[in-house]
Amino acid sequence: MEYSFPRYLQSKQTVDDRALNKDVFQVLKANLPTAPFRVTEIGAGIGTMIPRLMEWGLLTDADYLALDGMDENISYAAEWILNWGKSAGLRAERNAGKIRLHDRRRDVRITLEEVDVFDFIKRKPPKSDLLIASAVLDLFPLPHSLPKLFSLTKGLAWLTINFDGMTTFEPSIDAALDATIERLYHATMDTRSTGGDSQTGRHLFSHFRSAGAQILAAGASDWVVHPIRGKYPADEKYFLRFILHFFEESLTGHKGLDPNAFANWLSRRRAQIERGELVYIAHQMDFLVKA
């Protein structure tokens, strides 16, 4: 099977739609300044947050800066966002690297940039009204990265899908083996050379306090993927296949895991996906903070 990271990001759009905490989102809407306002998103991937926030009524008149460190994501985003805009009945225009999506009710000007966020921060760019970071904080060295990230915003930061130490696959194959694989997978998050924490969600409460940030709202944003009448919604079968690919990449050859047992576990989990049986749950946390 061919694994495409941009397609994975697209396949998890519906998963994130369900997961994002709606109470935290309502507090975000209540605290935003009057439009027009400026947004900076770090780790923006292929830009799936932009259509979501337009559909959810958050973006009506805004300048949106989407940053990502992978050229593949930014290249994909440029075409994908334009195509989405046209399919949504918007006027979708690209000029000098910028994208504009607009109709009689909405006007969103988008800039996509491939850049490491910390290199971008060194430029001391103008502050945005809102900083967005979704499913990326658990990849950063915390807490000392937070003041740097907060320098991108005038105060408001919406920080979502922060992993918090729980992965569940059902039905169980072997309870002891399931637990070992999940524990070892979480441990790989804690030992990344670039930083990371498998319990980022719960630790952010104290990290924000140490950084002098005020938590305006917090809540769970769990990924829950399950079949409906034997079929997965949208492209979520691909999403599940990619999750198992992450496990395979992270744990193949791990000294704490029997290779034959792990290969058999992967094979059986993949078969569960194909039969429309696998249920996947990952516990995560959303925050809205005033930096």
pLDDT at residue 193, rounded to an integer: 79
147 prior amide bond cis, ω within 30: no
Condensed to tens digits (0 to 9), the pLDDT of residues 163-195 reads: 999 999 999 999 999 999 999 999 999 998 788
Is the peptide bond prior to 227 cis by the omega test (within 30 degrees of 0)?
Answer: no
pLDDT at 214: 98
Give me the residues paired with residue 109 across strands. Answer: 63, 100
The pLDDT, as a whole number, for residue 192 is 85
38 and 44 Cβ atoms separated by less than 8 Å:
no
Contact, 70 vs 63, CB < 8 A?
A: no
In terms of Cβ atoms closer than 10 Å to its own Cβ (0-12, 13-18, 19+), residue 259 is: exposed
The per-residue pLDDT for 230 is 94
Q: For residues 272 and 150, give the distance between their C-alpha atoms in angstroms, rounded to a whole number.
A: 42
CB atoms within 10 A of CB 12: 25
When the candidates are 3.40.50.150, 3.40.1190.20, 3.40.50.300, 1.10.510.10, the CATH number that belongs to 5-167+194-224+282-290 is 3.40.50.150
Main-chain dihedrals φ then ψ at residue 93, nearest 5 degrees: -125, 145
pLDDT of amino acid 40? 98
Whole-number Cα distances in Å, 208 to 156, 214, 259: 13, 7, 40
Domain ranges (residues) in the chain: 5-167+194-224+282-290
Owner of token pair 């997965």: 232
3-state secondary structure at position 3 = coil
pLDDT digits (tens, 9 = 90+) for 210-232: 999 999 999 999 999 999 999 99
pLDDT beneath 70, residues of the chain: none
The confidence score (pLDDT) of residue 96 equals: 82
The DSSP secondary-structure symbol of 168 reads: E
Q: Give the H/E segment covering residue 201.
A: helix 200-210
